[in-house]
Structure 1
């Protein structure tokens, strides 16, 4: 029997490791170019939620209005606050919180819930990330109607500084991107992460100055009030809420948010580079 020898063929130019920065950035670039796809899917998510409903997505606005009116008047009495100042404070805080909460909770299941599309549709995984962030932003825009009503009813001292809310919301969107991407990949690999995040969301809500005013904490906690600065949600809420209500704002909130934006995207891009190709197998 004649023995045969085999010689390894040299690697071809197409044999490029999936773990490359080029492919990671190409995934994001291709995802952004497919705007019609993720924009349509995001809007369909909202329409599907309120299918056969008479008012449709208007229930999002109605829900926010009921929450702002009911809880605002109740908690203003509990905290001894002026309803004219407290209701706008709490309402805008809820609007921003719902967006943050939506990105966190939806991000943990973004790839798990889209298993069929990921396995059948040859699209960048960033499409599903953009779809989720776009959907949560649409919900935020629906709630923006209540903000306009707040301006008409309570007339907070809003000035030209309200335009700084635009870059603040842009930063929220940027951070929503890396949150959904990072937690989406991690949760696809480790299925214990979604229930853990769900368990801590209520605690995170009550630890953030959404329903309780920060000045009340400073009056009652004294030197311990600085602990609120350790909560990143506080800074994300404050950079958008302060200009939307015409209140004073410290520059350090922007520093913290920009630092989280840069650091978060660096970690998310590293995860995208190393584990992008494994997501279809993990789901």
Structure 2
């Protein structure tokens, strides 16, 4: 065989292309992370045990801290807004419990890869393992705080106002957890590359806490009429308001509008599209950025 023929055959062979920046690898990372659930379930539980090591009541300090904060806010703002405490305290408490889950996904999610630098560089695991670990830990915190709601459910007779629509809180919680996943992925990747994003998110989250109806209600603004009622429209521009409403309304037995669900579902789809794009393009670079 001549040298020219050999060179021709070699040139005709397809050049192997790396699939490190493909959607296949992005989905594979998410699937591999789910398969390693024993790892992130154990790590998430160890995070809580480590934080409250040698404490007498352990992670129930989370419940006490949240309960005290909710009680203080409920007592103060019910007087300021002239809303009966029986109505306002459950409203504030559920809002605060859900807010803690959402804000943690933003704040801790922005540092999820930075804080796991050692594991990322030394442990051969999917990148999504660290995201699952973070979300699992926050779900455990949510479960501890949910005990406060159970107490209020009977102490304030909330159950009397509830119907079968209260079951809507279950898919609402699933939707919120799905959103905490993509939020942690997106902010985690970009905050690893650009370290200024994390402190910016810290300030933004504090601002959103004030602008989100947790310590105040949109109904109180509507009752004031005039310009105050017009500000309700501004509140609805805040996406976190809709996340709160899909789970808070069924839990406290109040009416709920369907458009809250439409907005949250749309944001979930868009958010996961951005997360998959980020995983596709930057997943392989995260170990170098940390």
TM-score (norm 1): 0.94
The answer as to whether partners of 2:21 and 2:280 remain within 8 angstroms in 1 is yes
- Which residue in 2 is equivalent to 1:36? 38
State the superposition RMSD in angstroms. Answer: 1.4
Q: Quote the offset at 1:12 in angstroms.
A: 6.4
- Which residue in 1 is equivalent to 2:78? 76
Q: Quote the offset at 1:228 in angstroms.
A: 1.0
Quote the Cα distance in structure 1 between the aligned partners of 2:148 and 2:24.
43
Q: Quote the offset at 1:224 in angstroms.
A: 3.2
2:238 is the alignment partner of 1:234: no
- Which residue in 2 is equivalent to 1:181? 185
Displacement over 3 Å in runs of 4+:
7-13
The answer as to whether partners of 2:222 and 2:229 remain within 8 angstroms in 1 is yes
2:228 is the alignment partner of 1:214: no
Q: Please give the per-residue CA displacement for 1:122-181, whole angstroms capped at 9, x wherever unaligned.
A: 101000011111111110000010000001111121222111100000000000000000
Q: Pick from 231, 253, 263 the counterpart of residue 256 of structure 1.
A: 263
Instruction: Within 5 Å, give how 1:51-200 maps onto structure 2.
Output: 51-156=53-158, 157-200=161-204
What secondary structure is seen at the aligned counterpart in 2 of 1:185?
Answer: helix
Quote the Cα distance in structure 2 between the aligned partners of 1:54 and 1:119.
35
How many corresponding residue pairs?
276
Using the TM superposition, name which of 41-50 and 242-251 deviates more. Answer: 41-50
Quote the Cα distance in structure 2 between the aligned partners of 1:70 and 1:228.
23
Which runs of no fewer than 5 residues in structure 1 stay unpaired?
1-6
Which runs of no fewer than 5 residues in structure 2 stay unpaired?
1-6
Quote the Cα distance in structure 2 between the aligned partners of 1:204 and 1:134.
24
Quote the Cα distance in structure 2 between the aligned partners of 1:173 and 1:249.
20
Q: Please give the per-residue CA displacement for 1:202-227, whole angstroms capped at 9, x wherever unaligned.
A: 11100000010111122331223211
Quote the Cα distance in structure 1 between the aligned partners of 2:33 and 2:40.
8
Q: Pick from 254, 258, 261 the counterpart of residue 247 of structure 1.
A: 254
- Which residue in 2 is equivalent to 1:203? 207
- Which residue in 2 is equivalent to 1:4? none
Quote the Cα distance in structure 2 between the aligned partners of 1:105 and 1:224.
27
Quote the Cα distance in structure 2 between the aligned partners of 1:202 and 1:256.
23
